[in-house]
Amino acid sequence: MNYFRFLVPTLVSGILAVSSVLAGDPVSMTVNVANPSGLARSSETIEVPWSEILLRIPGALPDHLSVKDATGNSLPSQVLNFHPENKKGLFDSFLFQHDFASGEKSASFTIETTTEPIPPFPSKVFARYVPERFDDFAWENDRIAHRIYGQALETPSAGKSMMTGSGIDVWSKRVRYLIVDRWYLKSHDNYHKDTGEGLDMYDTGKWRGCGGTGIWSNGNLFVSHNWKTWKVMANGPIRAVFELTYEPWDGGGVQVSETKRFTVDAGHNLDLIESTFLFNGKPEVTVGIGLGKHPKGPGELIQNKEQGWMSLWEKYKEDGQLGTAVVLAPGEQGSFTEDQHDYLLLTQATPSKAVRYYAGAGWDRSGDFSSKEDWNATVASLAARLASPVTLSYSPPPAGTASSADLSAPPSTH
């Protein structure tokens, strides 16, 4: 009986809060975003923890929230839920984006309840398992596309296409809309030709491609087989999140397995990658994050130790020029080396703690980059943004709190 005396008021409170949201009584909160450095931040992703919303909008429903900027313009938004199996509907965060102009040091946004559901926004990101092409996993945003090879490509059923390679492939896009499904419909040979949307001109082979990893030991890079499992955790309209796992392999005398989590945001050429390694017998291993070399041309390499990034600009005889890059997240320490096939950015990994870095590419025919200087400026700008993140605060304060000045969220990842 005591249990029900406790449960009934709790249920009634929750039902009343939801009823209030649906009854037409708008409830709002303000999100203040500080950009102390004044850096230009195109497509800055603002991520508000769901817990902060519930403190100010009790009973908030993910499909009954709108967000507006200071001029009243409605913005596309997205709710993340990394545990959909939880029957209580415990969401993780609420996302939207803003373009900070150079020198713009703050911006404010209003999140407000709506009586009618908010229709889905057109997606600028996409990720999926591709069983029709030997277990590819492919993803894209409005700037660039990628894929990684799965286990079926290592089996005899793949025929002449049979390949072992855990590097990251690049598909170069001319257009802002999503193309992954359209290109797979063309069949393998045909998306290597540019018919106006772009093409797959990048040769990943067995090597690291655009940001693949391996274990560096005694002057050699030890790499995994193709990915074993996949899981999509979010799929637009602003952010896609997915994980790929790799079975244990010999990392130079130590058995290593890896889980890679990718966070793909609209408007960005580089994605956040969090690689978590499991191994026993030593406190740490050296991870090599690679950019593949191509025999058709040596490319122009830049290594920036201070900011923790490297960039490769390559010329293709008929298909323009392509930049690739990797950038270590703040807090990661790196050094540079190379082997026969890859330029490598080295960093240390301990068991179960993710190595965080960004990897991506930019094509000179995309309309975004006309030269290697443009590409390298974009890479350097990302490194500067990461080193000086935006911070969030909220109003009004929750009940019983005198001020919202200390209620700040973790910094944005972009």
Please list, in sequence order, all residues whose beta carbon lies within 8 angstroms of the beta carbon of residue 102, skipping any fewer than 6 positions away: 38, 39, 40
**Helix or strand or coil: residue 96?**
strand
The percentage of residues in the chain with a pLDDT greater than 70, rounded to a whole number, is 90
Res 405: pLDDT: 40
Among residues 228, 342, 325, which one has the least CA distance to residue 288? Answer: 342
Please list, in sequence order, all residues whose beta carbon lies within 8 angstroms of the beta carbon of residue 215, skipping any fewer than 6 positions away: 221, 222, 223, 251, 252, 254, 256, 277, 285, 286, 287, 288
Res 25: pLDDT: 80
The percentage of residues in the chain with a pLDDT greater than 90, rounded to a whole number, is 80
Res 12: pLDDT: 41
For the chain, how big is the Rg over CA atoms in Å? 23
What is the pLDDT averaged over residues 285-299? 89
Among residues 287, 397, 300, which one has the least CA distance to residue 350? Answer: 287
Confidence of residue 412 (pLDDT cuts 50, 70, 90): low
Cβ atoms of residues 197 and 177 within 8 Å: no
Res 145: pLDDT: 98
Among residues 242, 270, 260, which one has the least CA distance to residue 328? Answer: 270
Res 399: pLDDT: 65
Residue 85 CB neighbour total at 10 angstroms: 5
Residues in the chain: 414
Q: With 60 as the cut, is the pLDDT of residue 404 above it? A: no
CA atoms within 13 A on the CB side of 45: 28
- Upstream peptide bond of 131 is cis (omega within 30 degrees of 0): no
pLDDT in tens, 69-109: 999 999 999 999 998 887 777 899 999 999 999 999 999 99
**What DSSP line would sit under 106-158, residue for residue?**
EEEEEEEE-SSPPPPPPPS-EEEEEGGGTTEEEEE-SSEEEEE-BGGGGSGGG
- Dist. CA 249–CA 290, nearest whole Å: 18
CA atoms within 13 A on the CB side of 313: 16
- Looking at domain 126-370, which of 1.10.150, 3.40.50, 2.70.98, 1.10.3470 is its CATH number? 2.70.98
Res 345: pLDDT: 98
Confidence of residue 52 (pLDDT cuts 50, 70, 90): very high
**What DSSP line would sit under 164-196, residue for residue?**
---SBEEEEESSSS--HHHHHHH-GGGGGS-SS
More confident residue, 169 or 22: 169
pLDDT in tens, 239-258: 999 999 999 999 999 999 99
What is the pLDDT averaged over residues 9-20? 46
Q: With 70 as the cut, is the pLDDT of residue 147 above it? A: yes
Res 134: pLDDT: 87
pLDDT in tens, 346-368: 999 999 999 999 999 999 999 99
Cβ atoms of residues 224 and 259 within 8 Å: no
CATH 2.60.40.1180 is held by the domain 2-121+392-409? yes
Please list, in sequence order, all residues whose beta carbon lies within 8 angstroms of the beta carbon of residue 193, skipping any fewer than 6 positions away: 199
Confidence of residue 149 (pLDDT cuts 50, 70, 90): very high
Q: What are the sequence ranges of the domains in the chain?
A: 2-121+392-409, 126-370
Token pair listed for 192: 């290597």
Token pair listed for 353: 């703690």
The mean-pLDDT minimum among 48-62, 125-139, 157-171 falls in 157-171
Average pLDDT, the chain: 91
- Dist. CA 158–CA 149, nearest whole Å: 12
Confidence of residue 20 (pLDDT cuts 50, 70, 90): low
**Helix or strand or coil: residue 42?**
strand
**Helix or strand or coil: residue 267?**
coil
What is the pLDDT averaged over residues 403-409? 43
